[in-house]
Structure 1
Amino acid sequence: MRKQKSDESKLKVGIVGFGTFGQFLAKRLASKGHKVIATSRTPYEEVARKIGVEFFQDVDDFCEEHPEVVLLASSILSTESVLRNLPVQRLKRNTLFVDVLSVKVFPKQLLLRELPPEVDILCTHPMFGPDSGKGSWAGLNFMYEKVRIGADPRRERRVENFLKFFREEGCTMVEMTCEEHDRQAASTQFITHTVGRVLGTMQLRSTEINTKGFEALLNLVNNTTNDSFELYYGLFLYNQNATDELERLEKAFDTVKKQLFGRLHDIARAQLFPMEEMGKGPSGNGNGNGKAAATAPVPALPAAREPLALPAGKDVYAPSNTGTIDV
């Protein structure tokens, strides 16, 4: 009886988009006893076979396998065309569609617009990827919104079984709307990725005297630039809050820069015009008796140094892959 209940919780999951992130999820799902099939424009038969996944180059053949769950793991920029080219009519009418994109309002609106009304929709974002999730998933955040689930015990059970997989892997389950996700992600995920890419463009290198803080920055660069620029661009293009956060970051940098150069200006002016720091008689400056007021020693102006030059004509480009932001 217990074995029967266990078998009922196992799903037939079809993954559309079998790149780095699709393979990452497929491997874990298959290892837990779920039946996993996959399709992608790139032939991945050998990779799929090694991790226990059945691969279909032909998307019609894939759909005719009737997976209970269709998991969209394509890139943000290609998801719309991938969905429109999917022969949904060959699937069962109440199939559960799940997306795992790093932005959420865009796929939510897309799925509601393009899919038949009888299809179930679950929008999710595993807040980890192949790097941070290569071992245990314990404590890693998994965001989801049940966008549209039919009022049928079997369909509700199917959604719960899918979420159960992540829960049993130790994920911290976070239920929130896609709109709230994008608002929060713009000030966390997008900013983190932006800072990592800016530092990556500076071509930071490890030294013999690294501090813990600098090591953390190097790790940030590695984690963010491991994802493709296409993914980063998708975070910017498809999250309406990203532009506001980018402007806030620019203003914050400008404020700090002005504070630095403002302090430097004060030191330089004190050295060039020392009398301004002394009393100048009854005119209102100084102590009013015409004698010089006592002043503290003026700090010496720091010696000029050569500015840090970035190598010309060198762009930082990470290997292209598809996945969530892994920071």
Structure 2
Amino acid sequence: MLSISPTISKFSNLSDLRHLNRGRYSRHSLSHLVPPPPSTHIRNTKTLRLRHNFRISAIDAAQPFDYESKISDHIAKSKTLKIAIVGFGNFGQFLAKTLVRQGHTVLAHSRTDYSAVAAEIGVSFYSNADDICEEHPEVILLCTSILSTDKVLRSLPLQRLKRSTLFVDVLSVKEFAKDLFLQILPLDFDILCTHPMFGPESGKNSWKDLPFVYDKVRIGRDESRVSRCEKFLDSFAREGCIMKEMTCAEHDQHAAESQFITHTVGRILEKLDLDSTPINTKGYERLLDLVENTSSDSFELYYGLFMYNKNAMEQLERLDLAFESLKKELFGHLHEVLRKQLFGTKERSLGLLQEPRALSKLPPNGNGSSLPPQSDSAN
């Protein structure tokens, strides 16, 4: 920064000064000044001193304290959140690694002491729920099991949190989580129900093109609260997830038809103790992969999918009905073959042989209620 401060002094009278200001000297001209009058003219006159300050600032000059770096840091921090993960098991650690890499401040709390694991990831671990709540995280991310969520949520000291804290869950059953949040959390808290449709195994290499389902159950209208919710969702969008917004009820209906059936079939095949063979087909390889993926999840998760999704019982009944129908179709063909071998010529001539019935069509999916009993008249 440059500064020019000329001084004008010792004028004989104010008229000389006004003449100077009207003439050669003005605030837009710095070329030269009128020289002072000879000393003989001011011998017995009053001295008048005026000072005019001028500043010239260079726009492109280097700013103090690394200005550009500070601006960059401010922009980066405006996109990050302070997130407290409650339930720091396999899934909580799985999410924490990506959140830390993105620059978020991540805290963690769990019944088990995961302080060593947290330190390796770059997460601050708190064994006491009061301590982590006193850190005033912007987001509470529940990564608990389905069966323990109620107990864990009720144990949190909500009075130590900011009243506008955002609560997020990642449970595989959404209506249960939504109802629990609405029942326990005060009205001041925001609620976002989510379900990453992947886990540590399926998302170990990348989250690209993996579905992420969410429902903005209750988000305040303040710009800061809306922005906070969007920043959290952006943590998954920037990793390439396919973002799907739908209601919790819609999610549970679709999940029963896909996730629960997948886990059920995988666990049925696991009971068969299937082994790889020297002549595996591609289809058989996929079945082995299914067994591996589903068996790596706890039975507690599978039970939660069944217990807390009202649509699961219907799908289980449909699966059982489909299996029985398929067996009847197979045994029906076998019965006809045996009859042909024993009485084929005679019965055919009398017109007693009938074609085996094909697999009957199952009733359509409902809304979670049990299927009506099937009569044997069609069989």
User: After TM superposition, is the score higher than 0.5?
Assistant: yes
1:190 aligned residue (257, 260, 274): 260
How much does 1:278 deviate?
Answer: 4.3
Higher relative contact order, chain-length normalized (CA < 8 Å, sep 6+): 1
**Equivalence map 1:189-208=2 (5 Å):** 189-208=259-278
CA distance in structure 2 between the aligned counterparts of 1:82 and 1:151, rounded to whole angstroms: 28
Structure 2 residue 84 is matched with structure 1 residue 20: no
Residue deviations 1:134-167, cap 9 Å, x none?
Answer: 1111100000000001110000000000001100
Residue 9 of structure 1 deviates from its aligned partner by 1.0
Equivalences for residues 72-83 of structure 1 within 5 A: 72-83=142-153
Letter in structure 2 aligned against 1:185: A
Q: Tell me the CA shift for residue 2 of structure 1.
A: 4.6
Counterparts of 2:349 and 2:193 in 1: how far apart (Å)? 70
What are the within-5 Å matches in structure 2 for residues 190-269 of structure 1? 190-269=260-339
The amino acid that maps onto 2:337 is I
CA shift for structure 1 position 203: 0.7
Residue matched to 1:129 = 199
What percentage of residue pairs aligned between the two structures are identical?
A: 61
Q: Which residue of 2 aligns with 1:320?
A: none
SS at match of 1:66: coil
Corresponding position of 1:141:
211
The aligned runs of 1:1-327 (5 Å cut-off) are 1-279=71-349
Counterpart Cα distance in 2 of 1:208 and 1:103: 40
> What corresponds to 2:36 in structure 1?
none
SS of residue in 1 equivalent to 2:98: helix
How many residues end up aligned between the 2 structures?
A: 283
Cα distance between partner residues in 2 of 1:10 and 1:126: 20
TM-score, normalised to structure 1, is: 0.85
| Residues 88 and 274 of structure 1: CA distance in aligned 2, closer, same or farther (over 3 Å) | same
Determine if contact 1:73/1:100 at 8 Å carries over to the other structure. yes
Helix, strand or coil at the partner of 2:232: helix
> Structure 2: how far apart are the matches of 1:279 and 1:68?
82
Unaligned runs of 5+ in 2: 1-70, 354-379
Residue 279 of structure 1 aligns with an amino acid whose one-letter code is S
**Alignment check: 8 A CA contact 1:15 1:37 kept:** yes
Question: Take 2:325 and 2:344, find their aligned partners in 1: how far apart are those partners?
Answer: 28
SS of match in other structure, 2:349: coil
Asked which structure has the greater CA Rg, the reply is 2
Residue 277 of structure 1: CA displacement?
3.6
Find the aligned partners of 1:274 and 1:7 in 2 and give their Cα distance: 83
Shift of 1:104: 0.2
**Equivalents in 1 of 2:175, 2:320: separation in Å?**
25
| 2:48 paired residue number | none
Q: Check the 8 A contact 1:270/1:276 in 2, yes or no.
A: no
User: In the aligned structure 1, how far is the partner of 2:196 from the partner of 2:343?
Assistant: 60
- How far does residue 279 in structure 1 lie from its aligned partner after superposition? 2.7
AA aligned opposite 1:35: T
Can you list the C-alpha shifts for 1:226-266, whole angstroms capped at 9, x where unaligned?
00000000000000000000000111111111111100000
* Secondary structure in 1 matching 2:96: helix
